[in-house]
Amino acid sequence: MPAIYLDHHATTPVDPRVLEAMLPYFTAKPGNPASRSHSFGWEADRAVARARQRIAALAGAAEREIVFTSGATESNNLALKGAAEAYRRRGNHLVTMATEHKAVLDTVHHLEHSGFRVTVLPPQPDGLLDLARLRAAILPETVLVSVMYANNEIGTIQPVREIGEICRQTGVLFHCDAAQAFGKIPVDVEAAHIDLLSVSAHKMYGPKGAGALYVRGRNPRVELMAQIHGGGHESGLRSGTLNVPGIVGFGEACAIAAQEMAGEAVRIAALRDSLLRQLEANLETGAGPLHMNGTMHMNGAMHINGTMHINGTMHINGTMAHRLPGNLNVSFVGVDGDALLTGIPQIAVSAGSACGSGYDSSYVLEALGLPPALLQCPVRFGIGRSNTQAEIDCAASRVAAAVRELRTLSPVL
């Protein structure tokens, strides 16, 4: 059986159209856009300008507001460290969420060592931010709020427009890590009052090593302190020779997304829903309830005398109402996540984020308040552009079979 790739939140394959656009800039068109004295440099500069325009258009931004980076991790670092340093005279307080990507959480914790205070807000059980709690967390000395557009593990889409309105009303900057959302769902920095937006090409069928940071240029104009020096590239915000092939590929990926994103989202969401229905149907029989201490309210759970009873073999992590089209994150009760992945070697899925070193229980799911029995068995399905209904049918059948087999060996059932 050919391998089935269902890990599109970790990375996406480069679209053949993207690769075709990139190839000339590795060989026949080798110019450095900073070389202004010959045609090769001019051609590279024009290619970069066109890509910048395409990325800006997909974000609802102006071309001059796009700063090229190596990816969303660097963009997050530039946004958070750059804004914190630039606005330190106004305050030293930052607000973020416990379910943010490590590129945000590790960066704000680094800033704590430099004298900044950080408030990390917990999510609600469905993964969404409590807006009243956000309002209460913003203080006179707060300079920036950082909340991701869509979560990389559970796919939860945050109410970014409401968050942006709160930030604008209180006079603080709003940074949004949109690596998982950009190119999959509509993103409009103006409508959402986003001041800083981090994006990455490899999450949307572009190449690895290419990313960008949107930096608001007016109403208000955002100031940043550069984190990489040496040549003054990208308006002085990010020095270094530009990755022309990667940038061209990123631009092409954005042009494709602008044309195909809406229809693709509908098709991929239908595949995701089909996967969920088939897993539920294949696992609904022969599954007794699992009893655990606790009082947390969860989908598909009942509460009797303070004890949680999870019925069935599968629990959906995060809200289904506000979710990326291709995301499904579930915990299979009584099944070890690593053992399940070992049992389905031809199905490429993830037991959590792909951006950590080594596997441990998911801090995102811990923040939702899931009990230990559900933390040991999460599986993230990431459905993408190339997946077919036949692949979904095969994956659902094989995953369900592996879960049933492992449940027979579970000591807790």
- Is 176 catalytic? The answer is no
Cβ 332 vs Cβ 377: under 8 Å: yes
- Using DSSP, state whether 7 is helix, strand or coil: strand
Cβ 199 vs Cβ 66: under 8 Å: no
Residue 168 vs residues 59, 182, 275: alpha-carbon distances, Å:
19, 22, 40
- Closest among 56, 59, 52, 73 to 192, alpha carbons compared: 59
Distance of CA 36 to the CA centre of its chain: 37
Single-letter residue type at 51: A
Alpha helices, H only, 337-388:
337-343, 363-368, 372-375
247 φ, ψ to 5°? -65, -40
- Using DSSP, state whether 240 is helix, strand or coil: coil
Torsion angle of the four alpha carbons 347, 352, 358, 361, in this order, in degrees rounded to the nearest 10 = -130
Give bridge partners of residue 200 from the DSSP assignment: 211
Tokens of 288: 């007794």
Q: What is the C-alpha separation between 409 and 374, in angstroms, rounded? A: 17
Burial string for 297-323 (b: 16+ CB within 10 Å, else e) reads ebeebeeeeeebebebbbbbbbbeeeb
**Scanning the structure block, which residue is given the tokens 């068995």?**
377
Cβ 41 vs Cβ 32: under 8 Å: yes
Strand-pair category, 173-177 with 196-200: parallel
Q: What is the C-alpha separation between 214 and 75, in angstroms, rounded? A: 9
Residue 154 vs residues 209, 267, 313, 319, 380: alpha-carbon distances, Å:
24, 19, 18, 8, 7
Give bridge partners of residue 180 from the DSSP assignment: none
Q: What is the C-alpha separation between 269 and 199, in angstroms, rounded? A: 22
How many residues are there in the chain?
413
Q: Which of 167, 355, 377, 394 is catalytic?
A: 355
Q: Which residues are catalytic?
A: 355
